[in-house]
Amino acid sequence: MSSTKPLIKIDEETSDFASEIVERGARIFPKEELKRLLTCIQCGTCYGSCPSGRITAYNVRVIMRKAQLGLKEEVLRDENLWSCTTCYTCQERCPREVETTDTIRLIRNMAFEAGYVKKPHLIVSRNFIETGHSIPLRDEDKEKRKRVGVPEIPPTTLTFPEALKEVQTLVEATGFKEKVLKLLEEG
Positions in the binding site for ligand SF4 (CB under 6 A): 40-46, 49-53, 60-61, 64, 84-90, 94-96, 98, 100-101, 104
Amino acid in position 32: E
Q: Three-state DSSP class for 22? A: helix
Q: Specify whether the CB–CB gap between 40 and 7 falls below 8 A.
A: yes
Helix (H, G, I), strand (E, B) or coil at 137: coil
Smallest gap from Cβ 41 to ligand SF4, in A, equals 5
The least CB distance from residue 14 to ligand SF4, in Å, is 17
Nearer to ligand SF4, 61 or 72 (CB): 61
Angle, helices 176-186/161-173, rounded to nearest 10 degrees: 80
Nearer to ligand SF4, 83 or 157 (CB): 83
Q: What are phi and psi of 28, to 5 degrees?
A: -120, -45
Minimum distance from residue 97 beta carbon to ligand SF4 (Å): 8
| Nearest distance in Å: CB 125, ligand SF4 | 19
Nearest CB to ligand SF4, comparing residues 28 and 150: 28
Length of the chain: 187
